[in-house]
Amino acid sequence: MSYIIELKAVNKVYGKGNNTVVALDYIDLAIPQRAFTTISGPSGSGKSTLLNIVGFLVAPTKGDIVFDNEKIEFDDFDTMADFRLQKLGFIFQSFNLIPVLSALENVMVPLMIRKDIGVDERKQRAEKLLTAVGLGDRARQRPDELSGGQKQRVAIARALVGEPKVILADEPTANLDTESTETILRIMRDINEQFGTAFIFSTHDPRVVNYAKQKVSLRDGRIVAN
Ligand code: ADP
């Protein structure tokens, strides 16, 4: 089995001296290629810390992260920023769309700083992905003209536009009703199967966990089920 991400004895401690919190307690975790993985657990169990480490936003205190067979050097800021841009897409619970931009322009945002992708290709990719998430006819609309579920579909297209290996989603269904949640999950599962993009979710939502191929459960910074 080949893995897209491996965490080896990863430990994360916040604070110093007598004031420390162990957020992750030497965890080992292997996330396969084409994963559809949920990370769940009670508040404070370490879900965000784990997602932030895997998103190269927070460095572990100890241990190694291997991404696509490459060991990550967290102290090299520029390489980390490039890596994040090229290899990862992000989806947030509050969508984080830019209000003054159209759906199409929002999807194009991650490509604005990609010198290797020309203007025409940016637009073509964004249009294709908006169609893939069922919003081909909403390209010109702004976020305030879209429902919550539609906003999250724009965010999924935006996360995909750089053709990342992995999409990290922080509670992506927290602000959605049941019907939109179903739609969003089906779209993400289709993309996972069609393009092989790996999805890693932090979530409390049993509907999301039901869709997962790998279910990781955290408690007090340790993996209790996987
Ligand atoms: P979850 O996402 O499951 O709620 P977190 O990863 O946010 O868990 O937090 C795990 C533990 O680490 C908690 O005890 C939390 O208070 C602590 N923690 C998280 N981030 C910080 C931080 N920046 N500084 C200090 N403690 C933190």
What pLDDT does residue 76 have?
86
User: What pLDDT was estimated at residue 81?
Assistant: 85
Q: Is 23 in the pocket of ligand 1 (CB under 6 A)?
A: yes
User: Which atom of ligand 1 is found nearest the CA of 24?
Assistant: 10
What Cα–Cα distance (Å) separates residue 74 from each residue in 8, 62, 77, 87, 93?
15, 11, 7, 15, 26
Take atom 13 of ligand 1 and give the residue whose Cα is closest: 44
Which residue minimizes the CA distance to atom 24 of ligand 1? 14
Position 208 scores a pLDDT of 92
Q: Which of 49, 92, 93, 222 to mutate to test the pocket of ligand 1 (most atoms within 8 A of CB)?
A: 49
CA–centroid distance, residue 13 to ligand 1 (Å): 9
Taking every pair of C-alpha atoms in the chain, what is the biggest distance, in angstroms?
57
pLDDT in tens, 103-117: 999 999 999 888 889
| Ligand 1 contact via 21 beta carbon (within 6 Å) | yes
Ligand 1 close to Cβ of residue 102 (< 6 A): no
40 lines ligand 1 (CB under 6 A): no
Compute the distance from residue 41 Cα to the ligand 1 centre, in Å: 13
d(CA 205, CA 166): 20
The sign of the dihedral angle between the CA atoms of 115, 121, 124, 125 is negative
Angle at 92 between CA 141 and CA 185, to 5 degrees: 80
pLDDT tens digit sequence for 44-79: 999 999 999 999 999 999 999 999 999 998 888 888
Q: What is the DSSP string of the chain?
A: --EEEEEEEEEEEES-TT--EEEEEEEEEEEETT-EEEEE-STTSSHHHHHHHHTTSS--SEEEEEETTEE--TT-HHHHHHHHHHHEEEE-TT----TTS-HHHHHHGGGTT-TTS-HHHHHHHHHHHHHHTT-GGGTT--GGGS-HHHHHHHHHHHHHTT--SEEEEESTTTT--HHHHHHHHHHHHHHHHHH--EEEEE---HHHHHH-SEEEEEETTEEEE-
Q: How many Å lie between the centroid of ligand 1 and the Cα of residue 50?
A: 10
222 in ligand 1 pocket by Cβ < 6 Å? Answer: no
Whether pLDDT at 225 is above 80: no
